[in-house]
């Protein structure tokens, strides 16, 4: 019973983060399952089965709040499903221990770029609203889907920063579209695992625990991403990417840093991340104030005239009861 409660809490927390920032459900949940001794293929299969329900609920919630671009969902989701099916099918004979540090280094570069871009510059509106091309989204979906299935998570960490870096979509729509398209990825990965593994080692109760927690968090996460300022949200996503991938690199065979070094690096990163989010929020408030002043100035320049009370086309109207009529010339 304690395990089920723990899994439900992990599912809730993972979906709250994933639905708000577009990543981390699979990574968080898979990490827990591996920690209690589950083999990688079974852990990934369990998480993806739970994600069929959580991503469906998350997609509906994001759609209700207007966070979804359906063209992007189709362009990246279908290739993502193909990649995830392939990754699930070949996971048993595929080692990702060498590929993980390389992927983390790429994601870390993207994360640093996004953190700096949104913290110091905000949203680049020069490309905002331009269509996302299939020639960019299709390869991205294939790669992200494959990494997601083989690593137990990766759809959000690969897809979200890449689309954010393009500057063509608002952060909330990037997150909503990535979360919604993940339903196709989770479904295809689950089918791949079932074909390759059958039901061997998959505990339905564990799937149910993760699912229940995720279903509770999905609507709340979609509401949060709708109301968090875009610039601040971009800084938050960038910080998540940086911290997550620095942690992976410091623990990899490439570096294998000692505990004091790792904890010192984490402390600095968390401090910088917090300062970046605070700065983004303050800049957002300043931008809002400037926009409000500009709107007032435009209205004034347009010569908006408020008609005199009780006068229409220079003809006095009857005064309200108890008040003298307007004098005639």
Q: What is the DSSP letter of 67?
A: -
pLDDT tens profile 139-148: 999 998 888 8
> What are the angstrom distances between the C-alpha of 50 and each of 179, 243, 250?
14, 26, 30
- For 119-174, give the DSSP string: III---TTSTTPPPPHHHHHHHHHHHHHHHHHHS--HHHHHHHHHHHHTSS-HHHH
The reported pLDDT for the residue numbered 307 is 52
Distance from the first to the final alpha carbon of the chain: 88
The reported pLDDT for the residue numbered 77 is 92
Cα separation, 238 vs 277, in Å, equals 10
The reported pLDDT for the residue numbered 82 is 94
pLDDT tens profile 196-231: 766 665 677 777 777 777 777 767 776 776 677 767
Question: Tens-of-pLDDT digits for all 329 residues of the chain?
Answer: 666 676 677 667 666 666 666 666 776 677 667 666 666 677 777 777 888 887 888 888 888 888 888 989 999 999 999 998 988 887 656 555 555 566 667 667 767 877 887 788 765 555 555 677 888 899 999 998 888 887 667 787 788 878 877 777 877 888 889 889 989 998 998 888 777 766 665 677 777 777 777 777 767 776 776 677 767 877 887 787 788 778 878 887 778 888 899 999 999 999 999 999 999 989 888 888 887 776 677 767 766 545 555 554 455 555 555 555 555 54
The reported pLDDT for the residue numbered 320 is 52
The reported pLDDT for the residue numbered 278 is 93
The reported pLDDT for the residue numbered 304 is 54
Cα separation, 291 vs 275, in Å, equals 24
Spans of all domains in the chain? 2-292
Alpha helices (H) in 65-133, listed in sequence order:
70-90, 99-116
The reported pLDDT for the residue numbered 139 is 92
């Amino acid at each position: 019973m304690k395990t089920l409660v723990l899994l439900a809490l992990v599912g809730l927390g993972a979906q709250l983060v994933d639905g708000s920032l577009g990543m981390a459900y699979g990574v968080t949940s898979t990490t827990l399952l591996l920690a209690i001794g589950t083999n990688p293929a079974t852990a990934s299969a369990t998480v993806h089965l739970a994600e069929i329900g959580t991503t469906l609920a998350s997609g509906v919630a994001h759609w209700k709040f207007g966070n979804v671009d359906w063209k992007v969902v189709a362009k990246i989701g279908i290739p993502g499903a193909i990649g995830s099916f392939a990754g699930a099918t070949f996971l048993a004979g595929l080692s990702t221990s060498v590929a993980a540090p390389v992927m983390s280094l790429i994601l870390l570069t993207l994360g640093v770029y996004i953190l700096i871009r949104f913290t110091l510059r905000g949203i680049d509106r020069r490309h905002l609203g331009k269509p996302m091309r299939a020639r960019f989204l299709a390869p991205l979906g294939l790669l992200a889907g494959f990494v997601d299935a083989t690593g137990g998570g990766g759809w959000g960490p690969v897809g979200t920063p890449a689309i954010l870096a393009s500057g063509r979509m608002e952060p909330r729509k990037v997150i909503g579209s990535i979360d919604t398209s993940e339903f196709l990825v989770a479904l295809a990965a689950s089918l791949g695992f079932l074909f390759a593994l059958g039901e061997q080692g998959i505990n339905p109760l564990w799937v149910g625990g993760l699912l229940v927690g995720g279903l509770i968090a999905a609507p709340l996460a979609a509401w949060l991403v709708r109301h968090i300022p875009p610039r601040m949200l971009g800084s938050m996503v960038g910080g998540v990417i940086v911290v997550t991938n620095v942690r992976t690199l410091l623990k990899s065979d490439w570096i294998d840093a000692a505990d004091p070094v790792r904890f010192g690096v984490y402390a600095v990163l968390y401090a910088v991340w917090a300062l970046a989010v605070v700065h983004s929020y303050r800049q957002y408030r300043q931008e809002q104030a400037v926009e409000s002043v500009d709107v007032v100035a435009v209205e004034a320049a347009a010569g908006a005239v408020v008609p005199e009370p009780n006068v229409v086309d220079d003809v006095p109207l009857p005064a309200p009861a108890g008040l003298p009529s307007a004098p005639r010339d």
